[in-house]
Structure 1
Amino acid sequence: MKSLTPGELEVMQVLWQHGSLKPAEILEHVERPLTNPALRSVLRVLMDKDHVTRKKQGKAFYYSAKNSAPTAFKKMTQRLAEIFCSGSSVELIAQLIKNENLSEEEVRQLQELAQEKVAEPSPPRKSRRRKS
């Protein structure tokens, strides 16, 4: 998954929240001032990066996010783990915890979440055999 600039992410958040929209409708939901030509440029880049699709309905094009926000989040966190933590999601989570100034309540919430995860039945793991 190709990374998103802050402006691209803002447009993606609108599409994730509101679904398929025309550019004029997207502009209604974007918080910062953005011209129609600038938005169309962002949409073109998002299509080139394979984050957005468009369909023509009548005379208008409607733009949609190609992946849901949770799917995009999962892909982006996997990419962060690959780049900064040798692919280890555990190390990524550890670094996030170390770098945040967490309150006691937040630490307790994380501990509860970890305990819930431990209590979940785990799905069968795929074996990762190397080809000889």
Structure 2
Amino acid sequence: MDEISFTPRELDVMSILWRSGSGTVSEVREGLGEDLAYTSVLSALQTLEEKKFVRHEAEGRAYRYFPTVEPETAGRSAMARIREAVFQGSAELMFAQFVSDRKLNRDELERMRRLLAERLEDES
């Protein structure tokens, strides 16, 4: 499962499953906060299951869906696609764009600095 790619709707559904750990169609529908048809949410979950990103277990008359891919794994795949498509493969350009975000507070920037220092130590 090298390439992990979600449509915007699939990503919304996965986000709910990652936060809650699992969900029925009704629970996911409620979590989306939009007026979507039950069948639309069911279709998204079935597609995600076909892609092997979720699995289900019977729970009474309903199914409970569980994510089978971790958000960190999906994030690595998404970041790699963005790096290639937007930043011509340059992690440096991508990082520069990320840290230039004025919404990052000092604490976040300090944690990022520590992560960079640790990563540089690993390379030594």
Could you state the TM-score of these two structures normalised by the residue count of structure 1? 0.70
- Higher RCO by CA contacts (8 Å cutoff, separation 6 or greater): 2
- SS of alignment partner, residue 34 of structure 1: coil
Could you state the TM-score of these two structures normalised by the residue count of structure 2? 0.73
Cα distance in 2 for residues equivalent to 1:107 and 1:87: 27
Partner of 1:23: 25
Kindly indicate whether the alpha-carbon contact (under 8 Å) linking 1:20 and 1:62 is maintained by their aligned counterparts in 2.
yes
1:83-102 deviations in Å (ceiling 9; x for gaps):
3334332222223446x4x2
- SS of alignment partner, residue 64 of structure 1: strand
2:114 is the alignment partner of 1:116: yes
Percentage identity across paired residues of the two chains: 28
Matches within 5 A, 1:53-92: 53-92=55-94
1:55-88 deviations in Å (ceiling 9; x for gaps):
3345432211122223322221122113333433
Kindly indicate whether the alpha-carbon contact (under 8 Å) linking 1:52 and 1:64 is maintained by their aligned counterparts in 2.
yes
Structure 2: gaps of 5 or more residues? none
Give 1:44's aligned amino acid.
Q
Give 2:37's aligned amino acid.
T
RMSD of aligned residue pairs (Cα, Å): 2.8
* Structure ID, larger Rg: 1
- SS of alignment partner, residue 21 of structure 1: coil
Kindly indicate whether the alpha-carbon contact (under 8 Å) linking 2:4 and 2:74 is maintained by their aligned counterparts in 1.
no
Structure 1: gaps of 5 or more residues? 126-132
- SS of alignment partner, residue 87 of structure 1: coil
